Structure formats: structure tokens, C-alpha cells
Amino acid sequence: MRVSTLVALGLSLSALAGAPVATGSTGAHGAATSGGSAGRTHRTVTGARVVSYAKRFTGVPYVFGANGPRSFDCSGFTSFVYAHFGVHLSRSSYAQMRQGRPVRGPLRLGDLVFWDGGGHVGIYTGNSRFVSATVHRGIWDYGFQIWRQTQTYTTARRVLPSTTNPSTGGAGVSAASVGSRLPRNGGAADASPRG
């Protein structure tokens, strides 16, 4: 195929080679609408930048199967945020749970956190909190303490290279301690949505 044909199809030579796509146009919130932003690679991004970008979408509504930027579901949100930085994530939370490497030790800003056997995913924002797309609130920043009242923590995965993300974002809660059991008392309806 000719390069001009690939560009017209929204592809790049790097996409054909399996590298993150670095093309796309700008949509709402200044976000790239497909594949990420030109000039950004996963080698230069920090967890703090991922978190800052993700929080820009606070309040954007949840729609099952949506990929953004006007609506998201949980895995559509995480893949959209990381695509902005040139990091390709699979489209389902279950597939994302197999990407990167398992977190052993303190969670770091930008780590993916998974709940309910992989049925829900969010981005760790520090201080025992994560940002996620949920049915009741859309994109919102949730505390682990509230979320664990009705959901079960599964695991965390690190998709950024360790050297780019030294911050633990506050207390540096360990991945193992997130999963410790609390009484499941139901919690507030808007604090325990699933996405």
C-alpha cells in the first residue's frame, strides 16, 4: 500500500509494524481522536501526566462500548487516555489485565487497577484513589475504601516503563493491601457503580 492510502485510512507505517500509532486529529478536550498524539511515546510519558490528562475528562458520561471523547466505558477510557501518549491498550478490560506487568509493591501514578475479576478497570491517581468510567457518574475519581465496600479488587498492571514513573502518588498503597477484605455493606449507590 502507498503511504497516502494508509494516511487516508488513518494508519501509519508504524501501525503496520506493530508500533503505537502516532496519528490522529484533535477532538473534544484537546484529545487525539485516534491512536494518540504525534511526537509522544511511552518512553517520555510519566504517570503524573497520564493522571492529569485522564482527570480532564471528569464528568464525561458513561456509555457501554464508547471509546470517547464525548462518552466512555471503563476500558474505552483507559485505552483512550493511554493512546494519547502513544501507548496501545487492548479494548477490553480483560485483555488489558494481561498487558504490561503485574505490580508487586507500591502502586504508582498511572497504574491500571482492576476490579471484579477484570470486569472493571481504572487508572491509579495516588492516595488510594483511581479515575474510571462508571455507569452512575461517568468519569470520576474514586477512593479504594468506598469502592471496596461493594466491589472486589483483583490486580494492578504497570504499562509504563518503571524508569518514567517514580512517583507513588502519596501514600504509595501496596497492590496487595488494596485487595484486603472489608465488610461488604453495600456503600452509597453512586460510590459503587460498575463500568
Provide the domain limits for residue 75. Answer: 20-191
CA distances from 119 to 2, 12, 18, 150, 151 (A): 40, 31, 26, 14, 10
Q: pTM value?
A: 0.67
**Is 10 a member of any domain?**
no
Q: Tens-of-pLDDT digits for all 195 residues of the chain? A: 333 333 333 333 333 333 333 333 333 333 333 334 444 454 578 999 999 999 999 999 999 999 999 999 999 999 999 999 999 999 999 999 999 999 998 999 999 999 999 999 999 999 999 999 999 899 999 998 877 778 889 999 999 976 544 555 544 555 555 544 332 322 233 333 334
Query: What is residue 173's three-state secondary structure?
Result: coil
For the chain, how many structural domains are there in total? Answer: 1
Domain with 97 in it: what CATH number?
3.90.1720.10
CB 60 within 8 A of CB 68: yes
Provide the 3-class DSSP secondary structure of residue 157. Answer: strand
* Distance separating alpha carbons of residues 135 and 77, to the nearest angstrom: 13
What number of other Cβ atoms are within 10 A of residue 153's Cβ?
19
Classify residue 5: in a domain, yes or no: no
Q: Is 169 inside a domain boundary?
A: yes
- Could you tell me if residue 11 is inside a domain? no
Question: Cα 121 to the chain's mean position, in Å?
Answer: 7
